[in-house]
């Protein structure tokens, strides 16, 4: 069994996009899409296993950790448990959080905002406040590393193989787990890998990208023009990369 965590890149957003598809049609399809062309389905088919997915569009890392905690203490997991399980976990941007909102009376993903405007929604206002008064990049990475180390210990105790990867930002970790894909490579995230495969390697002497990678992906037609997700062929390339890492 393959268990997947992450954001829209892992869920499969973009895998159903067709050239010329209007954004309204794209958004409507997302509501009913089964993401059969997503890289996680391709990997599961290659391994001849079922996929249990928790990845969600625009998900925060905190939401994925919360979903994992609920699942791995559940009866469903105890009934499914096998040492043949594989867990793939995509780390997304640090500029999101998952907190309780009193107006909706539920936990919600909050995207951090740089500016405050009177017309912003409550969630956007919260995002501005969190970004201005509660966020520090170094602290966020340390908190993320604690989660990674915790889950590595947990899965090791259960005899389950688990792997991590950066989705579209290669973070500057201070620890280097051996089960983190290409942890010693500066531009290891999936977006950078797709750009490099498309012959883009425009980085300066410090390895920083000179050109915006999302815009490059849209211009070279391997990312969707809506929300910058991998298209079907890009999902195939990601699947090939991941299969090569875990088999």
Rounded mean pLDDT of 77-105?
Answer: 96
For position 196, what pLDDT does the model report?
A: 87
Higher pLDDT, 37 or 200: 37
Residue 60: inside a domain? yes
Weakest mean pLDDT among 20-24, 73-77, 188-192, 240-244: 20-24
With a pLDDT cut of 90, the percent of the chain lying above it is 80
Weakest mean pLDDT among 13-22, 204-213, 234-243: 204-213
pLDDT in tens, 134-156: 999 999 999 999 999 999 999 99
Contact 204, 230 (CB under 8 A): no
Burial class of residue 168 in the structure, from the number of CB atoms within 10 Å of its CB (0-12 exposed, 13-18 middle, 19+ buried): buried
Query: Tokens 């925060």 sit at which residue?
Result: 60
Weakest mean pLDDT among 27-31, 75-79, 106-110, 224-228: 27-31
Query: Tokens 């268990």 sit at which residue?
Result: 3
Residue 33: inside a domain? yes
Q: Which CATH number belongs to the domain containing residue 88 in this structure? A: 3.40.50
Residue 199: inside a domain? no
Q: Where are the alpha helices (DSSP H) in 56-207?
A: 61-72, 75-80, 122-133, 137-158, 190-197
Residue 152: inside a domain? yes
For position 198, what pLDDT does the model report?
A: 77
* Residue 27 neighbours by CB distance under 10 Å: 11
For position 211, what pLDDT does the model report?
A: 78
223 pLDDT band, cuts 50/70/90, is very high
202 pLDDT band, cuts 50/70/90, is low
For residue 74, pLDDT over 90 is answered with yes
For residue 188, pLDDT over 70 is answered with yes
Residue 208: inside a domain? no
Residue 35: inside a domain? yes
Nearest to 39 by CA among 20, 16, 73: 16
- DSSP-based three-state secondary structure for 203: strand
For residue 13, pLDDT over 80 is answered with yes
For position 200, what pLDDT does the model report?
A: 55
Nearest to 21 by CA among 227, 246, 183, 240: 227
For position 205, what pLDDT does the model report?
A: 52
21 pLDDT band, cuts 50/70/90, is very high
d(CA 51, CA 87): 10
Higher pLDDT, 203 or 166: 166
Residue 49: inside a domain? yes
Q: Where are the alpha helices (DSSP H) in 13-134?
A: 23-32, 39-47, 61-72, 75-80, 122-133
* Domain interval for residue 176: 2-94+135-184+232-246
The two tokens of residue 130 are: 């969190």
Mean pLDDT value across the chain: 93
With a pLDDT cut of 70, the percent of the chain lying above it is 95
The two tokens of residue 91 are: 């780390």
Look at the chain and report how many structural domains it folds into.
1
- Give residue 242's Cα distance to chain centre: 14
For position 31, what pLDDT does the model report?
A: 78
């Amino acid at each position: 069994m393959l268990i997947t965590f992450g954001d829209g890149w892992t869920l499969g957003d973009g895998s159903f996009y067709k050239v010329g598809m209007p954004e309204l049609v794209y958004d409507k399809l997302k509501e009913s899409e089964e993401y059969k062309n997503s890289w996680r389905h391709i990997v599961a088919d290659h391994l001849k296993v079922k996929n249990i997915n928790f990845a969600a569009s625009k998900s925060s890392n905190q939401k994925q950790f919360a979903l994992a905690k609920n699942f791995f203490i559940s009866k469903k997991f105890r009934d499914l448990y096998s040492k043949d399980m594989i867990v793939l976990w995509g780390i997304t941007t640090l500029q999101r959080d998952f907190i309780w909102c009193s107006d909706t009376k539920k936990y919600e993903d909050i995207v951090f905002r740089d500016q405050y405007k009177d017309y912003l929604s409550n969630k956007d206002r919260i995002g501005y406040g969190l970004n201005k008064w509660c966020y520090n990049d170094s602290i966020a990475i340390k908190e993320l590393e604690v989660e990674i180390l915790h889950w590595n210990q947990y899965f090791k105790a259960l005899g389950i193989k688990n792997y991590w990867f950066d989705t579209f930002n290669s973070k500057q970790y201070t620890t280097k787990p051996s089960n983190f894909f290409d942890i010693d490579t500066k531009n290891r995230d999936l977006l950078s890998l797709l750009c490099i495969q498309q012959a883009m390697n425009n980085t300066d002497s410090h390895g920083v990208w000179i050109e915006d990678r999302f815009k490059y992906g849209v211009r070279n037609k391997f990312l969707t023009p809506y929300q910058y997700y991998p298209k079907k062929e890009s999902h195939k390339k990601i699947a090939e990369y991941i299969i090569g890492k875990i088999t």
